[in-house]
Chains A and B, each alone.
Chain A
Amino acid sequence: MSQQGYVAAPPYSQAQPGMGGYQGGFGAGPAQPLYGHYGGPPQTFNGPPTGMMKSPVSSAAGVPPPAAPSQYNPNVQQNGAHPQRYPPPAVSASYGQPLQSQYNNMAPAAPPQAQQLTNQMSSMNLGSYASGPMQSPPPPSNSLAQQPFQPAPPPVGQPLMPPGPQSPHMSPPQSPPANMPMAGLPMAGQQMGGPPLSGMGRPFPGPPPPGPGGFQQPSPGPAGPTGYPQQGGQFAGHMAGPQPGMMGPQPGMMMGPQPGMMGPQPGMMGPQPGMMGPQPGMMGPQPGMMGAFPGSPGGLAGPPQKKLDPDSIPSTTQVIEDDQAKRGGQVYNTNIRGQVPPLVTTEFPIQDQGNASPRFIRCTTYSLPCTADLAKQCQVPLACIIKPFASVPKNETPLYVVNHGETGPIRCNRCKAYMCPYMQFIDGGRRFQCGFCNCVNEVPAFYFQHLDHMGRRVDFYERPELSLGSYEFAATLDYCKNNKPQNPPAYIFMIDVSYNNIKSGLVKLICDELKTLLENLPSEDGSESSAIKVGFVTYNKVLHFYNVKSALAQPQMMVVSDTAEMFLPLLDGFLVNYQDSRAVIYNLLDQIPDMPAWRHSRQQSAAGSSSSSTPPCPPPEAPGKLKNRDDKKLVNTDKEKTLFQPQKGVYEQLSKECVAQGCCVDLFLFPSQYVDVATMADVPSHTGGSVYKYSNFQVETDGEHFLRDLRKDVQKSIGFDAIMRVRTSTGFRATEFFGAIHMNNTTDIEMAAVDCDKALTVEFKHDDTLSEEAGALMQCALLYTTVNGQRRLRIHNLSLNCSLQLSELYKSCETDSLINFFAKSACRAILNQPLKAVRDILVNQTAHMLACYRKNCATPSAASQLILPDAMKVFPVYMNSLMKSAPLVGSTELSTDDRAHLRLSIMAMGVEETQLLLYPRLTPLHNLDVDSEALPAPVRCSEERLSDSGMFLLENGHSMFLWLGQASPPDFMQSLFNLPSLAHLQGNMNALPELDNPLSNKVRSIISGLMEKRPNSMKLQIVRQKDKPEMLFRQFLVEDKSLHGGASYMDFLCHVHREIRQLLT
Chain B
Amino acid sequence: MATYQEFIQQNEDRDGVRFSWNLWPSSRLEATRLVVPVSCLFTPLKERPDLPPVQYEPVLCSRANCKAVLNPLCQVDFRAKIWACNFCFQRNPFPPSYAGISEVNQPAELMPQFSTIEYIVQRGPQAPLIFLYVVDTCLEEEDLQALKESLQMSLSLLPPNALVGLITFGRMVQVHELSCEGIAKSYVFRGTKDLTSKQIQEMLGLMKPAASGQQGRPVGPQDAEAPCKFLQPVHRVDMNLTDLLGELQRDPWPVPQGKRPLRSTGVALSVAVGLLEGTYPNTGARVMLFIGGPPTQGPGMVVGDELKTPIRSWHDIQKDNARHLKKATKYYEAMANRSAVNGHPIDIYACALDQTGLLEMKCLSNLTGGHIVMGDSFNTSLFKQTFQRVFSKDYNGDFRMAFGGVLEVKTSREVKVCGTIGPCVSLNAKGPCVSENEMGTGGTSQWKVCGLNPSTTLAVFFEVVNQHNAPVPQGGRGVIQFVTQYQHSSTQRRIRVSTVARNWADAQTQIQHIESSFDQEAAAVIMARLGVFRAESEEGPDVLRWLDRQLIRLCQKFGQFNKDDPTSFKLSESLSLYPQFMFHLRRSPFLQVFNNSPDESSYYRHHFVRQDLTQSLIMIQPILYSYSFHGPPEPVLLDSSSILPDRILLMDTFFQLVIYHGETIAQWRKAGYQEMAEYENFKQLLLAPLDDAQEILQTRFPMPRYVDTEHGGSQARFLLSKVNPSQTHNNLYAWGQETGAPILTDDVSLQVFMDHLKKLAVSSSA
Binding site for B on A (CB under 8 A): 542, 545, 552-562, 565, 567, 569-573, 587-588, 591, 595, 597, 600-601
Contact of B186 among A554, A557, A572 (CB under 8 A): A557
Q: List 16 A–B pairs whose Cβ atoms lie within 8 Å, in order of A's numbering.
A: A542-B203, A554-B183, A554-B184, A556-B184, A558-B174, A558-B188, A559-B185, A560-B189, A561-B189, A562-B193, A562-B203, A570-B172, A572-B252, A573-B252, A587-B182, A588-B183
At the interface, yes or no: B253 with Cβ under 8 Å from chain A?
yes
Question: A residues within 8 A CB of B252?
Answer: 570-573
Please determine whether A567 and B183 come into contact, CB atoms closer than 8 angstroms: no
Complex CA gap A227/B534 in Å reads: 111
Q: Write out the residue numbers on chain A whose beta carbons fall within 8 Å of the beta carbon of B180.
A: 597
B202 within 8 A of partner (CB):
yes
In the complex, are the beta carbons of A560 and B187 less than 8 A apart? Answer: yes
Q: Is the CB of A545 within 8 A of B188?
A: yes
B361-376 with Cβ < 8 A to chain A: none
Question: Which residue of chain B is the closest to A544 with respect to CB atoms?
Answer: B185
Expressed in whole angstroms, the minimum distance between the Cβ of B62 and any Cβ of chain A is 51
How distant is the Cα of A557 from the Cα of B174 in the complex, in angstroms? 11
Given contacts A552-B247, A571-B252, contact A558 B182 (CB under 8 A): no
Beta-carbon contact of B185 and A557 below 8 Å: yes
A554 nearest CB across to chain B (Å): 6
Of all A-B residue pairs in the complex, the 8 with the closest CB atoms, nearest first, are A561-B203, A569-B188, A572-B252, A559-B187, A556-B184, A557-B185, A558-B188, A567-B190
Q: CA–CA, A556 to B168, complex, Å?
A: 14
B209 interface contact, C-beta 8 A? yes
A-contact 0/1 string along B171-199, CB 8 Å cutoff: 01010000010111111111001010000
Please tell me if B609 contacts chain A, counting CB pairs below 8 Å. Answer: no
Asked if A565 and B190 sit within 8 Å, CB to CB, the answer is yes
CA gap between A601 and B203 in the complex, in Å: 14
Residue pair A556, B183 in contact (C-beta under 8 Å): yes
Chain B residues with CB under 8 A of A569: 172, 174, 188
- Rounded to whole angstroms, the CA-CA distance of A558 and B203 in the bound complex is 12
Known: A560-B188, A565-B190, A571-B252. Is A591-B202 also a contact (CB below 8 A)?
no
Query: Does chain A have a CB within 8 A of B204?
Result: yes
- A557 near B189: Cβ-Cβ < 8 Å: no
**What CA separation (Å) do A600 and B202 show in the bound complex?**
12
B205 within 8 A of A: yes
Contacts A542-B203, A556-B186, A570-B252 aside, 16 further interface pairs with beta carbons under 8 A come to A542-B187, A554-B182, A555-B183, A556-B183, A558-B174, A559-B187, A561-B202, A561-B204, A561-B205, A562-B195, A569-B188, A571-B252, A571-B253, A591-B182, A591-B183, A601-B209
Contacts of A561 in B (CB 8 A): 187, 189, 202-205
Q: Measured between C-beta atoms, what is the minimum distance from B266 to chain A in Å?
A: 16
Cβ of A557 and Cβ of B204 under 8 Å apart?
A: no
Task: Tell me the bound Cα distance from A571 to B184 in angstroms.
Answer: 16
| A-contact bits for B330-345, CB 8 A (1 contact / 0 none) | 0000000000000000
Residues of B within 8 A of A557 (CB): 183-186
What B residues does A553 contact at CB under 8 A? 247
Tell me if B185 and A556 are in contact (CB < 8 A): yes
Bound Cα distance A556, B183 (Å): 6
Whole-angstrom distance between the alpha carbons of A559 and B188 in the complex?
5
The residues of B that contact A571 with a CB separation of less than 8 Å are 252-254
Interface centre among A555, A560, A565 (most CB of B within 10 A): A560
Task: State A441–B28 Cα separation when bound (angstroms).
Answer: 103
Residues of B within 8 A of A567 (CB): 172, 190
Chain A nearest CB: distance from B446 CB in Å?
Answer: 37
Name which residue of chain A comes closest to B251, CB basis: A571
Considering only CB atoms and an 8 Å cut-off, how many residues of chain B contact the other chain?
24
* Contacting residues, chain A, for B203 (C-beta < 8 A): 542, 561-562
Collect the chain A residues with CB atoms within 8 Å of residue B190's CB. 562, 565, 567
Closest residue of chain B to A553 (Cβ to Cβ) is B247
Please report the C-alpha to C-alpha distance between residue A554 and residue B697 in the assembled complex, in whole angstroms. 42
Chain A nearest CB from B672 CB (Å) reads 51
Smallest CB gap from A601: residue in B: B209
Most chain B CB atoms below 10 A, which of A555, A559, A571: A559
B407 to chain A, nearest CB (A): 38
- Residues of chain B lying within 8 A (CB to CB) of residue A600: 205, 209
CA distance in complex: A565, B188 (Å): 12
CB distance from A41 to the nearest CB of B (A): 53
Interface of chain B residues 239 through 283 with chain A (CB within 8 A): 247, 252-254
Minimal beta-carbon separation of B218 from chain A (angstroms): 15
Contacts of B254 in A (CB 8 A): 571
Bound complex: CA A559 to CA B204 (Å): 9
CB neighbours of B193 from chain A (8 A): 562, 565
Q: How far is the CB of A516 from chain B (nearest CB, A)?
A: 22
> CA–CA, A561 to B188, complex, Å?
7
Q: How far is the CB of A241 from chain B (nearest CB, A)?
A: 70
Name which residue of chain A comes closest to B189, CB basis: A562
Residue of B nearest to A594 (CB): B182
Report the minimum CB–CB distance from A522 to chain B (whole Å): 29
Distance in Å from the Cβ of B263 to the closest Cβ of chain A?
16
Q: How far is the CA of A420 from the CA of B239 in the complex (A)?
A: 67
Residue among A555, A560, A565, A601 making CB contact with B184, cutoff 8 Å: A555
Chain A, Cβ-Cβ closest to B188: A569
Q: How far is the CA of A554 from the CA of B240 in the complex (A)?
A: 12
B199's nearest neighbour on chain A, judged by CB, is: A562
Contact A558 B186 (CB under 8 A): yes
Q: How far is the CA of A556 from the CA of B187 in the complex (A)?
A: 11
Q: Which residues of A contact B182 (CB under 8 A)?
A: 554, 587, 591
Question: Complex: how many Å from CA A695 to CA B247?
Answer: 44
Query: Which residues of A sit under 8 angstroms from B205, Cβ to Cβ?
Result: 542, 561, 600
Among A545, A562, A573, A587, the most chain B Cβ lie within 10 Å of the Cβ of A562
A569 to B174, CA, bound (A): 9
A556 to B394, CA, bound (A): 40
Please, how many angstroms separate the alpha-carbon atoms of A561 and B177 in the complex? 14
Distance in angstroms from B544 CB to nearest chain A CB is 49
In the complex, chain B residues whose CB is within 8 Å of the CB of A573? 252
> Least Cβ distance of A618 to chain B in Å?
17
Residues on the B chain within 8 Å of A587, using CB: 182-183
B374-404 CB mask vs A (1 if < 8 Å, else 0) is 0000000000000000000000000000000
Scoring B183, B202, B229 by chain A CB atoms within 10 A of each residue's CB, the highest score goes to B183
Task: Tell me the bound Cα distance from A601 to B205 in angstroms.
Answer: 12
Across the interface, name the chain A residue whose C-beta is closest to B249: A572
Complex: chain B residue closest to A567, CB-CB: B190
A643 to chain B, nearest CB (A): 30
A560 to B254 CA separation, bound complex (whole angstroms): 21
**Which residues of chain B (129-185) have a CB below 8 Å from chain A?**
172, 174, 180, 182-185
Residues on B with beta carbons closer than 8 Å to the beta carbon of A595: 183
B614–chain A nearest beta-carbon distance, Å: 49
Could you say which residues of chain A place their CB within 8 Å of the CB of B183?
554-557, 587-588, 591, 595
Residues of A contacting B187 in the complex (Cβ-Cβ under 8 angstroms): 542, 558-561
Bound CA span A999–B182, Å: 50
Q: Which residues on the B side are within 8 Å of A558 (C-beta)?
A: 174, 185-188
Return A166 CB to nearest CB of chain B, in Å.
Answer: 80
A877 to B202, CA, bound (A): 58
Select from chain B the residue with minimum beta-carbon distance to A572.
Answer: B252
- Determine how close the nearest CB of chain A comes to the CB of B477; give it in whole angstroms: 60
How far, in whole Å, are A324 and B247 apart by their CA atoms in the complex?
A: 65
Residues of B with C-beta under 8 A to A559: 185-188
Residue of B nearest to A596 (CB): B180
Smallest beta-carbon distance A547→chain B, Å: 8
The complex places the Cα of A565 from the Cα of B190 at a distance, in Å, of 9
Docked pose: A558 CA to B186 CA in angstroms: 5
Q: How far is the CB of B370 from chain A (nearest CB, A)?
A: 28
Q: Which B residues lie within 8 Å of A572 (CB)? A: 252
Could you give, for residues 201-231 of chain B, a 1 whenever the CB lies within 8 Å of some chain A CB and a 0 otherwise?
A: 0111100010000000000000000000100
What chain B residues lie within 8 Å of A552 (beta carbons)?
Answer: 247
Return the CB mask of B528-541 against A: 1 if under 8 Å, else 0.
00000000000000
Give A869 Cβ to nearest chain B Cβ, in Å.
63
* A569 to B209 alpha-carbon distance, docked (Å): 24
